Amino acid sequence: MSIEVKVPVLGESVSEATVGQWLKQPGEAVALDEPIASLETDKVAVEVPSPVAGIMGAHVAAEGDTVAVGALLGLIETSGVANAPAPAPAAAAAPAAVAADDAAALSPAVRRAVLEHGIDPATVKGTGKDGRLTKEDVLAAAVAKQAAPAPVVAAPAPAPAPAPVVSTSGERREERVKMTRLRQTIAKRLKSAQETAAMLTTFNDVDMSAVMEARAKYKDVFEKKHGVKLGLMSFFAKASVLALKDIPSVNAQLQGDEIVYFDYVDISVAVSAPNGLVVPVVRDVDKMSFAGIEKAIADYGKKARDGTLTMADMAGGTFTISNGGVFGGLMSTPIINPPQSAVLGLHRIEDRPVVRDGQIVVRPMMYIALSYDHRIIDGREAVTALKTIKEAIEDPTRLLIDM
């Protein structure tokens, strides 16, 4: 008996996807709920589980095909195969190494790491849910592989060194790779933002001394108490909340001929994922503690690396923070994340000479940038909002007393 596997509902306003990769080939055994294919939507990669246990049948859609929600993807053959539930997790005493049949069911990020580093997934112990491999498991195995001493074998008699091969053709090569659906969507959205919004950027610089001193003083006790590191993003998220509450237009959106103001702050945090930049949303930041913000960002970072972000993780958002400083960027003009009206860009911290009380001193300084839609945010409002963020970072006490 053949069971049809169709494209599942992918999320609100998402009507189609691209077949990224078939995780099961015709003739391979498939367990109930085991991922058999990976679909790329406009925002995330989605794994399609098998509705039954059986044998993978024909692939109706090929890798790279665009498929609509409800379209037929492939078939599962169940003749003579009992619809048994997925195998239970191995007992604690059993090794959690990934079996060869399970290697194809790895997440996209893990598969990419396995291929890049030449790691056999069957030899690696998984630390993820139900013993599944994570990207960190593969990277750790790659490091261990490099550090392992090479086996000592008897060296054969040296052969005459071959003459060096010298290319005299001057050949130059090109490689054409089709853009993923996610990369195509990123390109369209960024170009649309430039063409639609009256985008302008204002800059300021921030003395990071107070924040760095606070982190150095409390980082150990903070991590011990909350189980997460005290980073910079929680300070800037809190400072942004102050600015957005004082200047509501920076937290607003233009919808048709109406301006929509929000009495809550949902901050999209730009995160680098294997397939491109994604912006999961930390919701109700105005009601969260420093630890809550750091935990939410850390969880999203892990999900982005593992390729497990969902559509719901990235839906909405009233303001965006993008930290180009982690890549060494000194200054940039970040692009607005539609339909939002503003984005805060953070950059690297470096020691620079500044004047304090008439004296030239060295301070850890950071350039910050606020790109905004001039259609609904006036220059005065943008400059004031950025200045509020600067003052809160330079004097973190303001974050505690709502100043």
Please tell me the predicted confidence (pLDDT) of residue 93: 36
Please tell me the predicted confidence (pLDDT) of residue 103: 45
Please tell me the predicted confidence (pLDDT) of residue 87: 44
Class at the top of the CATH hierarchy for domain 1-87: mainly beta
The architecture (CATH level 2) of 199-401 comes to 2-Layer Sandwich (3.30)
Catalytic residues, by residue number, are: 374, 378
Tens-level pLDDT at each residue, the chain (403 residues):
889 999 988 766 678 888 888 999 998 999 998 999 988 876 677 889 999 999 999 999 998 888 988 899 999 998 755 444 444 444 333 333 343 374 445 666 676 676 667 787 778 888 776 677 777 787 788 777 766 654 544 444 555 555 555 555 678 989 888 777 777 777 887 788 888 889 999 999 999 999 999 999 999 999 999 999 999 999 999 999 999 999 999 999 999 899 999 999 999 998 877 766 788 999 999 999 999 999 999 999 888 888 788 878 888 899 999 998 888 999 999 999 889 999 999 999 999 999 999 999 999 999 999 999 999 999 999 999 999 999 999 999 988 877 6
Please tell me the predicted confidence (pLDDT) of residue 168: 56
pLDDT, tens digit, for every residue of 359-374? Answer: 999 999 999 999 999 9
Class at the top of the CATH hierarchy for domain 91-144: few secondary structures
| Cα angle for residues 338, 344, 349 (degrees, 5° grid) | 145
Q: In whole angstroms, what is the distance from residue 68 CA to residue 230 CA?
A: 43
Exposure on the CB side of residue 296, measured as CA atoms within 13 A: 23
Please tell me the predicted confidence (pLDDT) of residue 98: 40
Strand duo 253-255 + 281-282: pairing = unpaired
Domain regions of the chain by residue span = 1-87, 91-144, 199-401
**Cα Rg for the chain, rounded, in angstroms?**
26
Percent of the chain having pLDDT more than 90? 48
Structure tokens at 152: 């000592």
Provide the whole-model pTM.
0.64
Please tell me the predicted confidence (pLDDT) of residue 105: 57
